[in-house]
Amino acid sequence: MKHSLLLSTALAFLTAASALAQDEIKVGEFASLTGGSASFGQSSHKGTALAIDEINAAGGVLGKKLKLIAEDDQSQAGQPATIVRKLISQDKVVAVLGEVASSRSLEAAPICQQNKIPMISPASTNQKVTEIGDYIFRVCFIDPFQGSVMAKFAQSKGWKKVAVLTDVKSDYSIGLAQAFKEALPKGGGVIAKETSYSTGDKDFKEQLTSIKAAKPDAIFVPGYYGEVALIGKQARLLGIKVPLLGGDGWVGDSLLKVAGTSLDGSFFSCHFSADDKSEAVQTFVKKYKAKYNGETPDDMAALGYDSAVILAEAIKKAGTTEGPKLRDAIAATKAHPGITGSITLDEKRNATKSAVIMGIGGGRFQFVETVAP
Amino acid sequence: MTERSKILLLIALVVCGVISYAIGHVHVPDDQGHAVTLIAKYSYFYDILLGIGISIILAAGLNLVNGYTGQFSLGHAGFMAVGAYGSSWLTLTFGYVLGASAFGTTTVFVAALIAGGIGAALAGLLVGVPSLRLRGDYLAIVTLGFNEIIKGVIQNAEPLGAQRGLGGMEQHTNFFWTFAFAAITIYVVLNLVGSTYGRGFLAVRDDEIAAEAMGINTTKYKVLAFVLAAFFAGIAGGLYAHFKQFIHPEGFNFLRSVDIVVMVILGGMGNTAGVVVAATLLTILPEFLRWFAKSDILNQAIGFLYQAMTPEHFAVASEKTKELFENRMILYSLLLIILMLTRPQGLFGNFTGKRNQRLQ
Amino acid sequence: MADKLLEFLQQLLNGLSQGSIYALIALGYTMVFGVLRFINFAHGDVFMLGAFAGFYIGPKTLALFGTGPSYPGAFAVLVVAMVLCAVIGIVIEKLCYRPLRERPKLTVLITAIGVSLFLENAGQFVFGANPQSFPELMVDRPLELPESWGKLSALTVTVSQVLTFGVTLLLLFLLRFIVLKTKMGMAMRALSFNPVAASLMGINNDVVISFTFGLGSALAGAAGILTSIQQPSIDPLMGVNAGLKAFVAAVLGGIGNLPGAALGGILIGVIEVLVVGYVSPTYRDAIVFGVLILILIFKPTGLLGTSEREKV
């Protein structure tokens, strides 16, 4: 009795995978739903899932509903390759969405490229990702652009000496810091002090103490909101009064809750702001909150949403889900009105879009300006 | 016994070669009617299959240390990392030194693999010599510490990609290399254990102080087991790197080490056959759970269990249950706890009792 | 010159504050090891549960003391969190470690790893993976140092830092009192020398072990609350790093030795801070492991530990 249950389960496992549903278009997604990067993976997944729901509610694409097959890579290296192989060879997806972390995108991209399945990353910022091949796209800006945005902003405010505080456990942070460090001197600025921390650290007083001694005009902190909030608080407690500057990693629910008023007077660049008064953004925020228990969407959610919508639009435009034609349609994305801005994919398959600079005042986000590429 | 096992090994290698050639060259039609190789059509299962082979090498090697010699090593992933990064750097730098032909590149690959293994063995020596004087929990923690240090070194090494990871390796790893090395690992371990060295390992495991009193150089045996296991871990790392084609320091962390230790425990410490089965099962398990969480079987089970609930409660409960099953880490950790509480001797227990009888 | 000295003193202060947290957690590790001879890998996650306990009960408990953050309110939350963590610790021991008393040490070590992974991942599942903002339990601000201290008055010391250090000292003395002056403490010490003899003397080993776990977990819970007051961003994985460093602290001081754990905690806190401030922050974690390895190679019994003769 036990044997036949085992056998039938095994058979089911092996054969189920090859069953096809003809009236659906399968879209694959791999994200870090658990593990160290769970907060980012979950956000991007929620945004993607919201987009797919909406598209299906509006009738789907090419007369068929989109079926999202989302897999968790547990934030672990080695899993994206397995997952993407499964999505492509077993689930027969027409395209793959993912991932947030550049290292995991870099792992999966060669497989998608080899199999001529388009891959759209919502938030991987490392330049190398799209360099893998012409089937690999991203809807976020790459580090060199964002780094230069903040460098120019610092210059415009007259902040010549800037300290840099990098998260060395995050290749996103390292990449952005690198870009900033290269761009700042071009505007006549100087790096006052460079130091670092790791994701998950709670205490930054040592680094801040040494930064304080260098007397910078501003501090560039291209990290994630979990740590940035604490950095802001501790900086003020140590008597550091200069503004903090950052990137899209700052966008997160708990940033201001934890930081309180300590980040007032600071600025960061991002794709998207939940406080943006435009109708498109507000509708998105409302729908997201309705679907996900009142949670406010962050940058990852907005990018996940945009990546899915761009894919759906491309399928419609191509009129087919065949690899090469779909790829061309995605590559032709021009001025797509995304939640994270007007997205155009350039010849390197990176998103050319404006960055938004947000300021913080009175414990709230305030829109400052848009910077075109 | 050694004569017979040599023949068995040769047969195994030939079989691996044949299978590897077959799956790489036999063409079958895919959904659109194009002719594709078996590997291309079933690339997901191929991925799992090679993963099994790599796990076998890791677990059989670690079994020598944790199982036969009774030392708690919790840092095996560190040696895998040394092999992975070492061999990757070598093939990325010297890949075409013997020409661009398949023969040339493959020779470089195998040489790099072995070099990676030797590098890992050296790391094993560096870690082992100072640590193996410690016992029990202390050794476990020190090996964990060395795992983190190796990871830390890689994270700060620019030529190895540091925190960005290292990619671009060519996919040299195939069925043959993976399972050939797995067969070799098993062959070496079994033969070693069946020899006088094996008696030495077991003596150290059973009662280290008594063994010393009998004149056995316990340090020598502990270090030998450790270094050999590290060598195989290095080979496994190299194979892994040239299959996934991208490696990252976080892929060789404490969790990975724990994975391998669990395989050794599940298999029955000191039971190579058991460990091979356990490695296979535990490699398949996450993928099985991935399928199971979305399967009809689970859906039906949920429908059955929650049938007494109101529709809204049912919706929420079934949603949460499915999410729970998709959370493979929670399931894995529960499995670990339950396994330790109910059957800590593993699936097959410890066969050394029988082994003793057979050798007499 | 004076600036450098000031910077150094500031770093030292930070180290003391951080070290107190490690000390509290380290005490739990060392007590459990002293009594049961095994390393409770899941201990760091109890620290995390303490922080989340404060997160959930904080607002309601504060409400009992009037509006807004207050010292009595914070104290109440601390006590409740400690009690909750004690219960959790006792439950874990009863369910997962007690059945394995007779088994080899590796088995219970792996079980502890399993419990730790379970708590972390279940935490992510239940609490959500995003960092949450810990409620403000008390008003925290830098202390106004008197002008008469001259240059020293430029140092930044916050109320919460002083509180952390103070509460740690208090709990240490309390612990020492329990261990040295009460019957239960005597039973704990007897158990750590020889469990068989202790039970022969009429000690109910199970009760004593439960008590030890409860006590250690309560201290971890206290550490969770104190740390969250200073750094109000909590997430289900926050116990991993802190737990590991506290473990190294316990080993540094001599595992099984209470004053050693406290000393080890402070030392690790200070070493960590000095390395980050003067060498490089990238080596923050590596240096802690380096210390661990050096200690285990050169003086495995730790700074204050005594050599154990292994009897055959």
Ordered domains of chain C (ranges, CATH)? 2-131+156-298 (1.10.3470)
Task: Report pLDDT digits (tens) over C124-137.
Answer: 989 988 888 888 88
Instruction: Report the residue from A72, A171, A175 with minimal CB separation from B326.
Output: A72
Is B39 part of any domain?
yes
Least confident of A261-270, B125-134, B258-267: B125-134
- The confidence band for B358, taking pLDDT boundaries of 50, 70 and 90, is very low
Is B357 part of any domain?
no
Tokens representing B262?
Answer: 């669990």
Which of A268, A181, A194, A281 lies closest to A229, judged by CA?
Answer: A268
Report the chain C residue with the minimal C-alpha distance to residue A198. Answer: C282
- Taking contacts as CB-CB distances below 8 angstroms, the residues of chain A near B290 are 71-72, 86
Q: Is the per-residue pLDDT at B142 higher than 80?
A: yes
Report d(CA A322, CA C78) in Å as an integer: 61
- Taking contacts as CB-CB distances below 8 angstroms, the residues of chain C near B350 are none
Residue limits of CATH 3.40.50.2300 in chain A: 21-141+281-352, 143-270
Comparison of pLDDT for B298 and C83, the residue scoring more: C83
Task: Report pLDDT digits (tens) over B7-28.
Answer: 989 999 999 999 998 888 888 8
- Taking contacts as CB-CB distances below 8 angstroms, the residues of chain C near B210 are 312
Report d(CA B45, CA A345) in Å as an integer: 35
Least confident of A125-129, A177-181, B32-36, B57-61: B32-36
- Taking contacts as CB-CB distances below 8 angstroms, the residues of chain C near A207 are 276-277, 281
Asked if A257's CB is within 8 angstroms of C281's CB, the reply is: no
Our CA-based measurement puts residue B190 at a distance from the nearest CA of chain C, in whole angstroms, of: 23
Neighbours of B355 (CB within 10 A): 16
Is B339 part of any domain?
no
Mutation target among C91, C117, C124 for the B interface, most CBs of B within 10 A: C117
Q: What is the DSSP letter of C142?
A: B
For chain B, helix (H) and strand (E) counts, in that order, are 16, 4
Helices B175-194 and B272-292, packing angle to 10 deg: 140
- The confidence band for A17, taking pLDDT boundaries of 50, 70 and 90, is very low
Q: Is the per-residue pLDDT at B87 higher than 50?
A: yes
Task: Output the pLDDT for position A6.
Answer: 58
Task: Report pLDDT digits (tens) over A278-290.
Answer: 888 889 999 999 9
Is B297 part of any domain?
no
Q: What is the mean pLDDT of residues A331-336?
A: 90
Pick out chain C residues at pLDDT < 70.
1, 306-312
Report d(CA C10, CA C155) in Å as an integer: 6
Asked if A38's CB is within 8 angstroms of C124's CB, the reply is: yes
Domain hosting B234: range is: 2-248
Which of C274, C276, C296, C295 lies closest to C284, judged by CA?
Answer: C276
Task: Output the pLDDT for position C1.
Answer: 61
Instruction: Report the residue from A75, A81, A171 with minimal CB separation from B47.
Output: A81
Examine residue A131 and say whether the peptide bond preceding it is cis (omega within 30 degrees of 0).
Answer: no
Is B121 part of any domain?
yes
Residues facing A121 on adjacent strands: A138
Tokens representing C27?
Answer: 């005490």
Q: What is the mean pLDDT of residues B28-52?
A: 87
Q: What is the mean pLDDT of residues B351-359?
A: 42
Give percent above pLDDT 70 in chain B: 96
Instruction: Report the residue from B47, B248, B328 with minimal CB separation from A85.
Output: B47
Q: The pTM is what?
A: 0.88
Q: Which CATH superfamily is domain A143-270 in?
A: Response regulator (3.40.50.2300)
Q: Is the per-residue pLDDT at A35 higher than 80?
A: yes
Q: Is A39 on the interface with C (CB under 8 A)?
A: yes
Structural domains in chain B (count): 1
Instruction: Return the CATH number at B23.
Output: 1.10.3470
Mean pLDDT, chain A, integer:
88
Mutation target among C118, C287, C298, C301 for the B interface, most CBs of B within 10 A: C118
- The confidence band for A12, taking pLDDT boundaries of 50, 70 and 90, is low
- The confidence band for A309, taking pLDDT boundaries of 50, 70 and 90, is very high
Task: Output the pLDDT for position A287.
Answer: 94
Name every residue in B having a CB less than 8 A away from some CB of A. 31, 40-44, 46-48, 51, 155, 162-165, 167, 240, 243-248, 250-251, 255, 287-288, 290-291, 295-297, 326-329
Going from the C-alpha of B236 to that of each of B168, B183, B190, B192, B287, the distances in angstroms are 18, 12, 18, 19, 20
Give the Cα-Cα-Cα angle B311, B315, B321 (nearest 5 degrees). 135
Q: Is A237 on the interface with C (CB under 8 A)?
A: yes
Q: What is the mean pLDDT of residues A211-223?
A: 93
- The confidence band for B103, taking pLDDT boundaries of 50, 70 and 90, is confident
Give percent above pLDDT 90 in chain B: 38
Asked if B337's CB is within 8 angstroms of C114's CB, the reply is: yes
Domain made up of A21-141+281-352: CATH architecture: 3-Layer(aba) Sandwich (3.40)
Q: Is A233 on the interface with C (CB under 8 A)?
A: yes
Least confident of A311-325, B110-124, B299-313: B299-313
Task: Output the pLDDT for position A13.
Answer: 55
Q: Is B278 on the interface with C (CB under 8 A)?
A: no
Is B133 part of any domain?
yes
DSSP three-state, residue A64: strand
Report the chain A residue with the minimal C-alpha distance to residue B162. Answer: A171
Asked if C100's CB is within 8 angstroms of B137's CB, the reply is: no
Least confident of A194-203, A258-267, B330-339, C141-150: C141-150
- Taking contacts as CB-CB distances below 8 angstroms, the residues of chain C near A197 are 281, 284
Contacts with C, B 15-54, CB within 8 Å: none
Task: Output the pLDDT for position C71.
Answer: 83
Report the chain C residue with the minimal C-alpha distance to residue B208. Answer: C312
- Give the number of A-C residue pairs with CB atoms closer than 8 Å: 97
Q: Is C96 on the interface with B (CB under 8 A)?
A: yes
Task: Output the pLDDT for position A20.
Answer: 45
Task: Output the pLDDT for position B360.
Answer: 34
- Taking contacts as CB-CB distances below 8 angstroms, the residues of chain C near A239 are 142, 156
Tokens representing B36?
Answer: 């594709």
Instruction: Report the residue from A201, A202, A209 with minimal CB separation from C7.
Output: A209
Asked if C14's CB is within 8 angstroms of A206's CB, the reply is: yes
- A110 contact partners, CB below 8 Å, separation of at least 6: A132, A133, B167, B245, B246
Going from the C-alpha of C118 to that of each of B178, B284, B327, C42, C125, the distances in angstroms are 33, 20, 11, 9, 10
Written in H, E and C, the secondary structure of C153-164 is HHCCCEHHHHHH
Task: Output the pLDDT for position A9.
Answer: 55
Tokens representing A159?
Answer: 């902040």
Task: Output the pLDDT for position A355.
Answer: 86
- The confidence band for A4, taking pLDDT boundaries of 50, 70 and 90, is low
Report the chain B residue with the minimal C-alpha distance to residue A125. Answer: B164
What is the distance of C-alpha B106 from the center of its chain? 23
Mean pLDDT, chain C, integer:
86
Task: Output the pLDDT for position A11.
Answer: 53
- Taking contacts as CB-CB distances below 8 angstroms, the residues of chain A near C129 are 34, 38-39, 42
Report the chain A residue with the minimal C-alpha distance to residue B163. Answer: A171
Mutation target among C289, C301, C308 for the B interface, most CBs of B within 10 A: C289
Task: Output the pLDDT for position C214.
Answer: 94
Is B58 part of any domain?
yes
- Taking contacts as CB-CB distances below 8 angstroms, the residues of chain A near B326 are 33, 72
Is B163 part of any domain?
yes
Report d(CA A255, CA A233) in Å as an integer: 11
Instruction: Report the residue from A38, A209, A257 with minimal CB separation from C129.
Output: A38
Neighbouring chains of A at 3+ CB pairs under 8 Å are B, C
Report d(CA A95, CA A315) in Å as an integer: 10
Report d(CA B106, CA B172) in Å as an integer: 7
Burial class (CB within 10 angstroms; exposed 0-12, middle 13-18, buried 19+) of A323: middle
Task: Output the pLDDT for position A34.
Answer: 87
Task: Output the pLDDT for position A5.
Answer: 56
